[in-house]
Structure 1
Amino acid sequence: MMSAKTLTVQQRKSIFHALVEVQDSKTLTIAESKKQVASQYHITKEQLELIEREGVAKDWPPLA
C-alpha cells in the first residue's frame, strides 16, 4: 500500500485524471468509481479522497 505522500505529483495527477474519466463516463456511481480507481492504483479510499481534493483545489486536468 502506498502513501499519498510517497506518490509523485505526476502519479497523483494520473490517479485524479483516471477518477474524473470514470466519473464522467457515468457507468458507475461515485462510490463505485472511487472504489475501482483506488483498487486499480493500490491506494486506500482515504488516499484517493486526498488526491481528489488536491486535484479539485489545484484545477488539475481534465478540470482546467
Structure 2
Amino acid sequence: MPAKTLTVQQRKSIFHALVEVQDSHTFTIADSKKEVATRFHITKEQVDLIEREGLAKDWPPLG
C-alpha cells in the first residue's frame, strides 16, 4: 500500500485518536496502532512516525 501524504492537521488528528485508543486500555499498544491505521486507512509505519512526531512536538492531548 503506498503511503498517503498527510497534512499536519491530519497527523494531529491521527495522533489524538491514537492517544485516546491507548488511554481506553481496550487494546494493547500494538493493537491500538493497528486499529488507528485501519480507521484512517494508513500503514502501521505511518502510525509509528506520527506517534514519534506527536510525542516530540508535544501535540494535544499531551500538551
Specify if TM > 0.5. yes
Paired residues of 1:2 and 1:42 also in contact (CA < 8 A): no
- Contact 1:38 1:48 (8 Å CA) reproduced: yes
Identity %: 78
When normalised by structure 1's length, the TM-score is 0.92
**Equivalent residue number for residue 8 of structure 1:** 7
Taking the aligned partners of 1:36 and 1:43, their CA distance within structure 2 comes to: 10
Q: Deviations over 1:10-34 (max 9, x none)?
A: 0000000000000001011001100
Deviations 1:3-52 (A, max 9, x none): 35x20000000000000000001011001100000000000000110000
- Root-mean-square deviation over aligned CA pairs: 1.3
Structure 1, gaps ≥5 residues long: none
Moved beyond 4 Å, runs of 4+:
none
Q: How far off its partner does 1:55 sit?
A: 0.2
Q: List runs of 5+ in structure 2 lacking aligned partners.
A: none
**Structure 1: how far apart are the matches of 2:45 and 2:27?**
19
**Conserved in 2, the CA contact under 8 Å of 1:16 and 1:51?**
yes
1:1-64 matches, within 5 Å, as 3=3, 6-64=5-63
